[in-house]
Amino acid sequence: MIPEDHPRYRSLMARERIADGVRSGMVVIEGASAHGRGEAFDYLLGEKSSASAKRAEKTAAAFLLAGFRTVISVNGNTAALAAAEIRDLAEASGAAVEINLFHRTDVRMETITAHLKANGVTVLEGTAERLLPLSHDRALCLRDGIYAADVVLVPLEDGDRCEALVAMGKTVITIDLNPLSRTAQTATLTIVDELTRALPNITRACREQNPETGEQLIADHDNHRLLYAALQTMQETLTDAMD
Ligand code: ATP
C-alpha cells in the first residue's frame, strides 16, 4: 500500500498499474520498459504540465471537436494507466475508442476490451483488417474505425504507425513525454505531457471550449514551436539543477 502523502505517490501508483497490467496480461514487458523511458522525461518536466503542454491539450480538444470521425487508439499501457480518463474523454469529445496493439494476440485484445468495458468505455469491435501500410500487426484496424477517421489520438505511439497515419492524410495527435521520439517529431500535434495529466486536461477543454477559440487554436497551431517549448522546459530544469 502506497501512502497518499508519499512524495512520489502518483509515479508509484502508475508503476503499480503497469505492473498489475503485466500480471493480468494487458501490458507486455516491453511496455514496462517504454513506461520507464517516459518517467525519465517526466522528471525533466518537473512532473507537471508545462504551459506549452496545456496549450497543446487545448489544441487537441479543438481538433477532436472539429473532426468528422474521431478515434482514440488505445494500447495496453494506455488501458492499464488511464481507462477511466479514456472514458471521460470519449464522452466529452464524441470520439470512438479502438484497441490497437503492437504485440497483438486474441487473448490480449479480449483482456484489454474487458478492462475498458469494466471502466465504462464503449469499445469499437469487429473484424480488423490489414489496412495500414505497415508490416507488423499495428497495420490491423477497423474499416469504420481508425481507417475511416480524419482525426486520431494515438497516446504512447510508435513512430512507424504515426508516420503511416500522417501519410494517409489524417490529423494525428499524440501524447508522448519524449519530444525527440519519431512519433513526437512526426505527429500533427504532439502533447509532451504525462498521459494521466494530459487526458483530463483535454477532456476539460472539450467541455469548456467554444468553437471560435477552437478555430483560432487550430489556425495558430505550430508543432515545431510546441516541441521547441518542451525541450526548452527540460533544458531549464537541467540548468537550474546545475546552479
Ligand atoms: P518512436 O518509435 O516514436 O521513436 P519509441 O521507440 O520510444 O518512440 P515506444 O517504445 O513505443 O516508442 O514508447 C512510447 C513512448 O511513450 C516513449 O517515447 C515514452 O517516452 C512515452 N511514454 C511512456 N509512458 C508515458 C506516459 N505515461 N505518458 C506519456 N508518454 C509516455
Q: Is residue 76 part of a domain?
A: yes
Mean pLDDT value across the chain: 96
Q: DSSP labels for 189-231?
A: EEE-S-HHHHHHHHHHHHHH--HHHHHHHHHT--HHHHHHHHH
What pLDDT is attached to residue 123? 98
pLDDT tens by residue, 206-240: 999 999 999 999 999 999 999 999 999 999 999 99
Residues whose beta carbon lies within 6 Å of some atom of ligand 1: 34-35, 37-38, 41, 81, 156, 158-159, 175-178, 181-183, 194-195
Measured from the Cα of 162, ligand 1's closest atom is 3
Give the residue, 5 or 145, on which the prediction is more confident.
Answer: 145
What pLDDT is attached to residue 218? 98
The three cell numbers locating residue 94:
464524441
Q: Model confidence at 101, in pLDDT bands (50, 70, 90)?
A: very high
Helix (H, G, I), strand (E, B) or coil at 106: helix
* pLDDT of 38 higher than 90: yes
Give the chain's domain count.
1
Residue 230 structural domain: 51-242
pLDDT tens by residue, 16-34: 999 999 999 999 999 999 9
pTM more than 0.85: yes
Spatial distance between the Cα atoms of 56 and 53, rounded to a whole number of angstroms: 5
Q: Is residue 198 part of a domain?
A: yes
Spatial distance between the Cα atoms of 29 and 100, rounded to a whole number of angstroms: 17
Residue 167 exposure: Cα atoms within 13 Å on the Cβ side: 10
* pLDDT of 3 higher than 90: no
* pLDDT of 6 higher than 90: no
Q: Is residue 158 part of a domain?
A: yes
Report the CATH number that the domain containing residue 232 is assigned in CATH: 3.40.50.12640
C-alpha of 125 from chain center: 20
Mutate to test the pocket of ligand 1, among 73, 74, 158 (most ligand atoms within 8 A of CB): 158
What pLDDT is attached to residue 7? 80
Q: How many residues does the chain have?
A: 243
Pairing relationship of beta strands 129-130 and 140-141 according to DSSP bridges:
antiparallel
Spatial distance between the Cα atoms of 217 and 56, rounded to a whole number of angstroms: 9
Q: Is residue 2 part of a domain?
A: no
pLDDT tens by residue, 102-119: 889 999 999 999 999 999
Q: Is residue 83 part of a domain?
A: yes
Cα-to-centroid distance, 114 and ligand 1 (Å): 24
Q: Is residue 31 part of a domain?
A: no
Cα-to-centroid distance, 177 and ligand 1 (Å): 7
Q: Model confidence at 5, in pLDDT bands (50, 70, 90)?
A: confident
Q: Is residue 215 part of a domain?
A: yes
